[in-house]
Amino acid sequence: MDTQEIKLNHESKRYAVEFCTATLLKWYFRLFPASVMCIVHVNKCYVVRKLTMIGQSVISVYIRKAFYVHISFLCAMPRKPGSKEVTDFMRGRIIGLKEAGKSQRDIVSMLNIPLSTVNNILVQFTRYGKISSAARSGRPGPSARLLRRIGRLVESDHRITASKVALEISVSPNTARSYLKKLGYHGRAARRKPLLSPKNVIKRYLWSGEMRHKPPNFWENIIFSDESSFNQFSNGGRVWVWRRPDQEYDISCLQPTVKHSFSVMVWGAIWMNGRSKLIHCEGSINAVAYRNILQHGLLPVYNGGGISKQDSLFMQDGAPAHTARSTLAWLQQNDISCLKWTAQSPDMNPIEHMWFILDQAVRKRSNKPSNRVNLLEILQAEWEAIPQATINNLILSMPQRVSDLYHARGGSTRY
């Protein structure tokens, strides 16, 4: 058997445990198994045995009172899975309450700790002066300095891999991942957001500072508009289906792809308690085409949409067709006032969420669009089917959107 030299802890205490028979010692091993190997000194011979761990103590065992067994434990016993370590502060409270005259049951009720734990702590303190937990086995955790270094690595490059972090700190990739999780970092897909230049960030921040003082009912009189393109099939992302293993290649369980799919661009507008018709945008959107869209989509809103030009503002983004001189002149000729808007801010436009809802509704249909006309009909039908309460909730989210943008100092928001 292998032998090993043991260095005893000078603070180790002695216990006297008497076993009347060798059979009792054998049952002791069965009741308290452990995978940690200990050095047992029997009649000046070193023998490897498996014993249960009891702190960092030295046990004196008398077997049949025939010979003396001197056992030195190599390490402390691992804690039971799910158990909680009693802190040194809590140990001090227990000892202090006991010295103040409290009974063990009083301490249990006051601190909500098991009676056996209280008793063990008091016995260890009374007999051996022990006031702290024994050191545990296993590799020690990372130091605060190492964690700070890992944090600096991640903050300098959020796309760094766990393998590269492991190389920097000389640990395995799995250990690096556990350290990253300890710091609160988790691998996640990066959010898709418009690229913001420093100039646009400043503009967004100034715009939010101006708009955050608007009353909540201000946004109820805004007509939010935008264009969006929809493809025959989903642009990306996984499509989840319920299937058995033998249905892997059933046509109903597949995500079809085509080499040349078609798309349809539409224009729409929403406001509190209302929405426009979904207008088909044919060809490229220039100033002439955009004015034609407004002629058929926006003007009918004022005629029968329950909202007036005098009490409302029209919102459009800064696309070239929207800000062309001819477009601005057309809006002025029709007495349509526009809301001041800031560049690269789709997260501030609630209609963007409407496009997401519309796309999801189209993807859930069992009958897929076969041509552009069919796709347009499906889009228009699903547009009208969206509950008005959903639109109203999006409009009501505007104060929070502006507030989030202001606190982000013009940066990207969760919307």
- The CA-CA-CA angle for residues 349, 354, 358, to 5°, reads 155
In this prediction, the residues of the chain whose per-residue pLDDT falls under 50 are: 1-78
User: Coil, helix or strand for 131?
Assistant: coil
pLDDT digit string (tens) for 247-292? 877 877 777 676 667 889 999 999 999 999 999 998 889 999 999 9
d(CA 394, CA 222) in angstroms, rounded, equals 12
b (16+ CB within 10 A) / e for 91-127: bebbbebbeeeeebeebbeeeebeeebbeebbebbee
d(CA 236, CA 92) in angstroms, rounded, equals 59
d(CA 66, CA 69) in angstroms, rounded, equals 10
What is the 8-class DSSP label of residue 159? Answer: T
d(CA 146, CA 383) in angstroms, rounded, equals 54
Element (H or E) spanning 274, and its range? strand 274-275
pLDDT digit string (tens) for 129-139? 888 877 767 77
Supply 291's token pair: 């004015």
Domain 198-407: CATH class, spelled out: alpha beta
* pLDDT at 297 (0 to 100): 92
Domain extents in the chain: 14-72, 144-182, 198-407
* pLDDT at 235 (0 to 100): 57
Supply 189's token pair: 């897909």
Question: How many CB atoms are located within 10 Å of the residue 394 CB?
Answer: 21
> Under a CB-based contact definition with an 8 Å cutoff, are residues 265 and 281 in contact?
yes
* pLDDT at 83 (0 to 100): 61
- Would you say the pTM of this structure is higher than 0.75? no
* pLDDT at 238 (0 to 100): 66
* pLDDT at 234 (0 to 100): 61
